[in-house]
Amino acid sequence: MPPTPKEIEMSINRPKAFLEVEQSVSDQLWVERLTPSQSNTALAISQTHDIPDLVSRVIAARGIGLEEAEQFLNPTIRELMPDPNSFTDMKPASERICQAISNQEHVAIFGDYDVDGAASSALLSRFLNHYQTPSEIYIPDRIFEGYGPNPAAIAELVQKGAKLIVCVDCGASSFEALEEAENLGVDVVVLDHHQMGTKMPPCLALVNPNRQDDMSAQGHLCAAGVVFLTLVAAVKNFRETGKSVAAPNLLEWLDLVALATICDVVALHGVNRAFVVKGIQVMHGRKNAGIVALADIARLDGPINSYHLGFVLGPRINAGGRIGDAALGARLLSSDDRYQTQEIAQQLDLLNKERQAIEVKMLEEAISEAEAEIGSSDGPPVLITENEAWHPGIVGLLASRLKDRFKRPAFAIAFDGMGKGSGSGRSIAGVDLGAAVRDAVEAGIAEKGGGHSMAAGLTVKRERLAELRSFLEQHMSQSVNQSRSNEKLPIDGALTARSATLKLIDQLEHAGPYGSGHANPIFAFPSHTIQYVERVGQSHLRLTISSGDGAKLNAIAFRVIDTPMGDLLLASRGQPLHIAGTLGINTWRGQKKIQLRVVDAAKPGGYR
């Protein structure tokens, strides 16, 4: 059958394959990230700013122009900080917090149970403690209370003397709970960043760059970023009203903002880059007792970087909210007691190990269910898996693993014995999951839910599950199909095992930190031989690759056992493969070793 006009057009417009990899083992087309026009920009950046060519190419490939390069390489809080009062409701929010401090009112901080919620709670707690204002942190139990404020918790806080309740990283859609606060005559300030509709819950002030009528253009902030800017506004308010008590040095708390920014996977644009760069510098001074204790228990050797925040410290803090005491993370980050933080860090480390064991079993069940749902066809555009035996604190991790494995949005839902399901979803680029969940709530299919474009949570009754599945498939089918048809792996350049040096990695760090919206550079290692490969833990592979000149490079492939990539790597000992991955440094007892984190692979000459 001759090709259709559409297929001919797609073939003409299809970008040239990097290393001729049209289809990798993970069904991706490898393409060069740097465009021809960006190549000229890279040369100009390199010459103007006297930086290595590779660094300038990485920067230019991410859309940074010559005029932006200096600020990008050296982001400062002073230049990138938005005006806090450009946020809707910022003035009444900051003024009410100042009033509580001036009157020494009891303040209740109601936070979320993830890293962003813990860091946000700790930020506000430290601010109030500086002014010796009585306060307490309340983090709801994920299983028994669910996400965000609930009427019973609000009533408890008021009974204990709270005159002001500040919701951080939650509250924007907590109508029933905030109505209870209004009935009890207590003021509520909400500092949130989640997507929300036009309907507003009853509260004194709601600061959220993602509310419909906010014009700050700072929707990429995490909640800790919003809280930090609120504290900046409060300090300014005190200064203008002549408050005599010396203000805290807010910059010393940027380590908390950096931690939350990386762990909540918000885009590293604008002030977020400055938050992370300056926050990591603060961490190197080891000032926060909780972060220090957690880094020590995790045996981090060498300076903390953004990878450590997202993949070492973050999961341990989250473990408390997933399967243990949800308040552990907030207590850890807000405490200056070295003994207390060491004890909490040990608890979180043990909970993280327990979480990993639970996740392995649940993931096996979720993969089996997803494979049965997909069958021999391409399957549905959205995966929805569910089980009554699943731990509701782990479903977000399951959704993330399913999304990565099957390359489509995925939900994992844990149902209780009463037929009520708590679910979490993760999305792929170009598919707004948060909006779809909000629409399902407005349609009355899901009881409640919300989130971001890339991650969302919901509550649904079992009898509405089929309806939810149909709604989401219809709602997201077009955007999912479009996103999956453009499945490409951008490659920043080709390297050999010998050219992957510590100096090269140091140069690349100058263009960091990397994260959401500023992807870690991916390099291809053409026709490198798999010298050695072995299983590590439950699902990883450790390997050694070598180039034609005999130089060797250690590598690791995470969560690839029983996947096509894992099968290919295990079957290719002694054979050449094109390997793609990101470079990092492992530090052990002061010794630095280079490690490649494998993200894809292909047989030379094409995978199939």
Give a yes or no: residue 462 inside a domain: yes
Domain identity same for 294 and 403: no
Residue-wise pLDDT for 492-529, tens only, equals 999 999 999 999 998 898 888 888 888 899 999 999 99
What one-character-per-residue DSSP string does 194-253 give?
S---S---S-SEEE-TTSTT--S--TT--HHHHHHHHHHHHHHHHHHHT--SPPP-GGGG
Backbone angles phi, psi at 249, to 5 degrees: -85, 95
Angle at 310 between CA 294 and CA 332, to 5 degrees: 30
Domain identity same for 307 and 454: no
What is the pLDDT at residue 336? 96
Residue-wise pLDDT for 127-139, tens only, equals 999 999 999 999 9
Domain identity same for 593 and 504: yes
Domain identity same for 409 and 521: no
Give a yes or no: residue 50 inside a domain: no
Give a yes or no: residue 551 inside a domain: yes
Domain identity same for 469 and 584: no
Give a yes or no: residue 62 inside a domain: no
The CATH number of residue 340's host domain is: 3.90.1640.30
The total of structural domains in the chain comes to: 3
Domain identity same for 563 and 445: no
Contact 154, 184 (CB under 8 A): yes
Is pLDDT at 6 greater than 60 in this prediction? no
Give a yes or no: residue 272 inside a domain: yes
Give a yes or no: residue 560 inside a domain: yes
Domain identity same for 476 and 496: no
How many other CB atoms are there within 10 angstroms of residue 584's CB atom? Answer: 17
Question: What does pLDDT average to over the chain?
Answer: 92
Domain end residue (candidates: 486, 505, 538): 486
Domain end residue (candidates: 486, 507, 528): 486
Domain identity same for 502 and 597: yes
Domain range holding 395?
Answer: 375-486
Tokens 């604008």 belong to residue: 270
Angle between helices 289-297 and 314-323 (to 10 degrees): 90
The CATH number of residue 446's host domain is: 3.10.310.30
Domain identity same for 219 and 285: yes
Domain identity same for 297 and 402: no
Domain identity same for 91 and 236: yes
Give a yes or no: residue 193 inside a domain: yes
The Cα–Cα gap between 334 and 336 comes to 7
Residue-wise pLDDT for 568-606, tens only, equals 999 999 999 999 999 998 877 667 889 999 999 999 975
Domain end residue (candidates: 486, 515, 545): 486
Q: Which of 359, 389, 394, 335 minimizes the C-alpha distance to 142? A: 394
What is the pLDDT at residue 478? 92
pTM of the model: 0.89
What is the pLDDT at residue 3? 54
Is pLDDT at 16 greater than 80 in this prediction? yes
Residue-wise pLDDT for 155-193, tens only, equals 999 999 999 999 999 999 899 999 999 999 999 999 999
The Cα–Cα gap between 50 and 68 comes to 15
Give a yes or no: residue 318 inside a domain: yes
**Alpha-carbon separation of residue 336 from 125, 289, 323 (angstroms):** 12, 5, 25
Domain identity same for 101 and 246: yes
